[in-house]
């Protein structure tokens, strides 16, 4: 199953690979060179297909926990001052996605979208300390009955040239469902309340919509 954001790219890749096969068959006489070109074209198609894959995920829904919004590696867990929306201290959990990860963004929790904004910007490598403030990015805040307001930020990386964000202000969203897509290497930051119980560790690999990032014991 492939994500809808990849349909055009997949169609272009198929056209390029098919044309390449036909041209190679007609104009390249050396068999070893033919097979090398066939292999390179086939590899290109496989890379495009795997990048836009959209596997089904089994989310255990609940207002008392936040699930990972994306696949990738946890690269930051720290208390920071979030200055765009909250203007106070939060726990930041950042997940880095390599080009080999699934790049679908999913809602980490259910609730009401209170804020959704796109910011144009640079394309620093996604793990750069200033990427969260200077790169192309979107900021979305979801209000949840247990956690209160939770902010997540899609951040473009050095290779990412397009962020897709489906979150619309005042929309009611469901945990684990499709929230957008980031093309190629990138990062997602979560900003959680200080009394959240973080249950992941640095360098842990997480799976979007399935692995729990944080828990909260507050009653709704």
- Annotated catalytic residues are 186
**How many CB atoms sit inside 10 A of residue 37's CB?**
17
- Report the C-alpha gap between 37 and 29 in whole angstroms: 12
189 and 152 in contact (C-beta within 8 Å)?
yes
Q: C-alpha angle 193/186/90, rounded to 5°? A: 10
Nearest to 182 by CA among 47, 45, 52, 14: 52
- Report the C-alpha gap between 96 and 99 in whole angstroms: 10
- Report the C-alpha gap between 101 and 49 in whole angstroms: 12
- Report the C-alpha gap between 219 and 195 in whole angstroms: 13
Measured CA distances, 132 to 24, 85, 93, 174, 214 (Å): 44, 13, 12, 25, 21
Measured CA distances, 195 to 69, 90, 218 (Å): 20, 9, 10
**Residue 42, C-beta contacts closer than 8 angstroms, at least 6 positions apart:** 17
């Amino acid at each position: 199953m492939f994500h809808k954001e990849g349909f055009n790219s997949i169609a272009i890749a198929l056209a390029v690979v098919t044309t390449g096969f036909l041209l190679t068959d007609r104009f390249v006489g050396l068999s070893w060179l033919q097979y090398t070109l066939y292999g390179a074209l086939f590899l290109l198609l496989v890379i495009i297909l795997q990048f836009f894959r959209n596997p089904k995920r089994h989310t255990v829904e609940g207002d008392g926990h936040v699930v990972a919004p994306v696949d990738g590696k946890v690269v930051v867990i720290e208390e920071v001052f979030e200055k765009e929306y909250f203007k106070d201290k939060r726990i930041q959990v950042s997940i880095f996605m390599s080009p080999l990860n699934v790049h679908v963004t999913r809602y980490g929790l259910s609730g009401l979208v209170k804020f959704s904004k796109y910011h144009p910007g640079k394309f620093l490598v996604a793990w750069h300390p200033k990427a969260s403030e200077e790169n192309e990015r979107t900021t979305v805040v979801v209000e949840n009955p247990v956690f209160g307001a939770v902010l997540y930020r899609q951040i473009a990386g050095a290779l990412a040239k397009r962020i897709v964000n489906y979150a619309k202000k005042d929309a009611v969203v469901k945990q684990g469902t499709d929230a957008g897509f980031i093309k190629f290497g990138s990062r997602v930051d979560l900003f959680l309340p200080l009394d959240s119980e973080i249950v992941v560790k640095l360098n842990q690999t997480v799976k979007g919509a399935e692995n729990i990032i944080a828990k909260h014991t507050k009653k709704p």
